[in-house]
Amino acid sequence: APADDYGQQITLSFIEAVEKRGGEVLEMIWYSGEPRSLRHEFRELRELAFQLLAADSTDTTNILYYDSTLVLNTASDSLKIKLDRIEGIYIPLYQQDIEFIAPQLAYWNFKTQLLGDVNWYQPLTLEKYRRYIDRIIFVTSTWFPEDDPKFIRYIEDYEATLGKAPDILNIT
């Protein structure tokens, strides 16, 4: 989550909702500034997933050999392993950050349910990065049909005039 007031407030609200329903948040990881590279943050999440994998395994002598068909010679080789021990990753963000975060999610190879805040509701951006985040779940107070010609024209006009995509406040 962004390490600012917005990120902290929405993350703490999410954690409260999860815990109220009997769930558990295993880790909170923050980033500052533009998230062009979240290498350290995603590496930390992968380490957590490997720890969970080891805890579930009867043989923890060499957890990197989770899939015996893989030859792991370097730390980056472990990226070949899809980690499925984290049930979900909640990523609140700013709309302009989707283009940075979406490809990184695919690169770090988590097999998990992605969850997001209202800022993920950017139909054109989501379509562009669909191959990375095809199954993300997020909530929004509004919905606009992506194939509605009036909606498409509004988005295109807005972007042409202001040079950026509209946020939810500019659409409603």
Closest CA to 94 of 74, 71, 120: 120
The tokens of 76 are what?
A: 């980056």
- Statement: the pTM of the whole predicted model exceeds 0.85: no
Residue 129 tokens read as 């990065």
pLDDT tens by residue, 141-158: 766 677 888 888 888 999
pLDDT in tens, 55-96: 776 544 444 444 444 444 555 557 888 888 899 999 999 999
